[in-house]
Structure 1
Amino acid sequence: MTILKSAELDEEVSAVGPKPNAFGQIDGRAGAAVLAQTPPAQAGHAHGAASQPPSRAKKLKEVAKTFLPDALFVSLLHHKCIGRYPNLLNPTTFNEKILQRNLHPDPRYIPLTDKLAVREYIAGKIGEQHLIPLISAPEEFTPEVFEALPEAFVMKANHGSTFVEIVRNKADTSFEKLKALADKWLTTEFYYVARERHYRTIEPRLFFEQLLLDRRGQIPADFKLHCFNGRPGQRPIMYLLVISDRFGDATHGDVFDVDWNRLDIQIGPYTRSPVPPPRPAHLQQILDVAARLVEDFDYVRVDLYAPDDKVYFGELTFTPGAGVLPFKPDSIDYEWGKLLA
């Protein structure tokens, strides 16, 4: 699931650039920009929070941005978020190379970025036991579909980031509320957020999954594994960003190596936990699943959930942060750039 919380770049980008979602973040996709960057008529909604109607001048500005050529748009966006203009002709940093992927995506990215279509690939690659159980993927969201849903579930859309609504108790929401949210998602052209071209041809679909909870009844941490140099039979280079309490009031992000050594790295705006999360008992299983999923790619971010002793697939992200993902220290942008072909 591509969703976030707790401050990822709180500054509004005046000329072009991502704006924070309802939680004041830019999805670290995590990352790209949030749906407010799309044309006003298509603007989406993150996690059901209310949005203010834009002024006429703001609408005109947003529409005008859609006419900027992709390369110019992403260059301005990178400058706003990273603090320098990117070298698109001879990219060296991680973010610059991700921008190149935005502009020239591998055709494989399209079905593997589609959060519904990718399920078939995942089932064949690592087995259906790693898929979050799918409740339904209706052609149309109707009152009958709503009534058939269980008491707890997650509503998602397949064609972008932040399209996630967690429902712990169906009695606390309504068909009308969810339908309004779903309609906003489905009319959002996510390509306009940060010009990630592989999103442009994904047909928007709504779907519902089982709500994952651990034995304590908590939503499990989100494991985002940045995986480099994938090859069959070989161990990739991996860094783990572990996002805890993602939907609560104490969201943190901690970066580890494969031996669970916490690194002094900040990805996006996630602050490190006061006390590092404990090493998962089944860490090796988490790493093994990610290694299988990166075998066919020189780089992909593999998102997993690992409640208790299980491992579930979240998504494959080929352009995390849309090429505008801040690192602290900034030297990581260059170090990871060397790892990415």
Structure 2
Amino acid sequence: MLYPPDAFVRRIKDSAKQFIPDAIFLSLLHRKHIGRFPKLFHPTTFNEKILQRSLRPDPRYGALTDKLAVRAYVKAKVGEKYLVPLIASPTVFTRAVFDTLPNSFVMKANHGSSFVEVVRDKSQQTFESLQNLADRWTSTDFYRIARERHYRDIQPRIFFEHLLLDERGQIPADYKVHCFGGRPGRPMMFIVVISDRFGKDTRGDVYDAQWNHLDVGIGPYARSPTPAPPPENLQAILETAAILSEDFNYVRVDLYAPNNDVYFGELTFTPGAGVVPMRPDRVDFEWGRLLT
């Protein structure tokens, strides 16, 4: 097969990257996205400490990052009612599995980030298109993307969940609760709210536990021009995140809160693989001091 010149060069570069040692790869990635080389041996910033976790992950991280295996942990900690109803988790995605799926659902893969396909109307989908997507996901070695080593422990699987919608019939906001423990009482928490995630006006807003809209930007998302009102179940969101994070000095607990309910999304121990721009830059250092 012949590739266009640009595509051929990209394939050569991608192949070459596979031979770069993890620590060097992550240092170069950090330099590219953050603007400085990281201190991997004596990290001080949040991103540097996350990079260190990627290279030397806690043995618990693999199973709890697995989006299927973590369900048992969540059930034991807070109860089954916080889990998004599971429709199917087949060992092989076949046409027979597709035929048994309801009219609306969400297809996901358990072993990485952004493996999500929202299906509102199955009649507008085909088995072949979802099968191709599932094959592409499961053939992706997510560890190779950003060298987060605990992803090597996860066996790729496809699964299907109930489609959560809010009272407007929209995909609910994603509450990413950064929980910094290692201190008495409830952890220090910052809530990153991703709204309109699958729409054309995706926003990322950062709030503290008292719902003060902070002048902070994380990642590629623009802040909303005006802060959203706090959700009615804010305290339930914070309490759920606190319980799910209590075994760790830091973890990001992702939750959904449609219609005054609370549902678990995932646990993330190395958010953004440790290469997420934070605005202003001082926040990277401030959060680094919180991660002990």
Equivalences for 1:24-43 in 2 at 5 Å?
none
Q: Which residue of 2 aligns with 1:306?
A: 257
Q: Which residue of 1 aligns with 2:69?
A: 117
Q: Which residue of 2 aligns with 1:64?
A: 16
Q: What displacement does 1:275 show?
A: 2.1
Separation (CA, whole Å) in 2 of partners of 1:111 and 1:316: 10
Q: TM-score, normalised by structure 1?
A: 0.83
Give the letter for the 1:288 counterpart.
Answer: E
Q: What displacement does 1:148 show?
A: 0.3
1:40-92 deviation per Cα after TM superposition (whole angstroms, max 9, x unaligned): xxxxxxxxxxxx99722221110110110000000000000000000111100
Q: What displacement does 1:276 show?
A: 1.2
Q: What displacement does 1:277 show?
A: 1.2
Separation (CA, whole Å) in 1 of partners of 2:282 and 2:7: 39
Q: Does 2:82 align with 1:130?
A: yes
More helix by share: 2
Q: What displacement does 1:269 show?
A: 1.8
Give the letter for the 2:26 counterpart.
Answer: V
Counterpart selection for 2:188 from 237, 241, 250: 237
Gaps in structure 1 of 5+ consecutive residues: 1-51
Distance 1:54 1:306, change over 3 A: farther
Counterpart selection for 1:181 from 119, 133, 140: 133
Counterpart selection for 1:297 from 232, 248, 256: 248
The alignment covers a number of residue pairs equal to 289
Q: Is the CA contact (8 Å cut-off) linking 1:244 and 1:251 kept in structure 2?
A: yes
Partner secondary structure for residue 211 of structure 1: coil
Q: What displacement does 1:308 show?
A: 1.4
Q: Is the CA contact (8 Å cut-off) linking 2:63 and 2:153 kept in structure 1?
A: no
Give the letter for the 2:124 counterpart.
Answer: D
Separation (CA, whole Å) in 1 of partners of 2:258 and 2:111: 26
Q: Does 2:228 align with 1:277?
A: yes
Separation (CA, whole Å) in 2 of partners of 1:151 and 1:157: 19
Equivalences for 1:191-206 in 2 at 5 Å?
191-206=143-158
Q: What displacement does 1:299 show?
A: 0.1
Separation (CA, whole Å) in 2 of partners of 1:282 and 1:114: 27
Separation (CA, whole Å) in 2 of partners of 1:286 and 1:272: 21
Partner secondary structure for residue 75 of structure 1: helix
Separation (CA, whole Å) in 2 of partners of 1:83 and 1:317: 24
Q: Which residue of 2 aligns with 1:226?
A: 178
Distance 1:109 1:303, change over 3 A: same
Q: Is the CA contact (8 Å cut-off) linking 1:230 and 1:294 kept in structure 2?
A: no
How big is the alpha-carbon RMSD for the aligned residues of Structure 1 and Structure 2?
1.3
Q: Identity over the aligned pairs, expressed in percent?
A: 64
Separation (CA, whole Å) in 2 of partners of 1:216 and 1:245: 12
Separation (CA, whole Å) in 1 of partners of 2:5 and 2:119: 26
Separation (CA, whole Å) in 2 of partners of 1:166 and 1:297: 31
Separation (CA, whole Å) in 2 of partners of 1:219 and 1:269: 20
Q: Does 2:75 align with 1:160?
A: no
Equivalences for 1:137-148 in 2 at 5 Å?
137-148=89-100
Q: Which runs of 4+ in 1 moved over 3 A?
A: none
Q: Which residue of 1 aligns with 2:121?
A: 169
Q: Does 2:292 align with 1:321?
A: no
Equivalences for 1:326-337 in 2 at 5 Å?
326-337=277-288
Gaps in structure 2 of 5+ consecutive residues: none
Give the letter for the 1:278 counterpart.
Answer: P
Partner secondary structure for residue 262 of structure 1: coil
> Does 242-251 or 298-307 show the bigger shift?
242-251
Q: Does 2:39 align with 1:95?
A: no
Q: Which residue of 2 aligns with 1:258?
A: 209
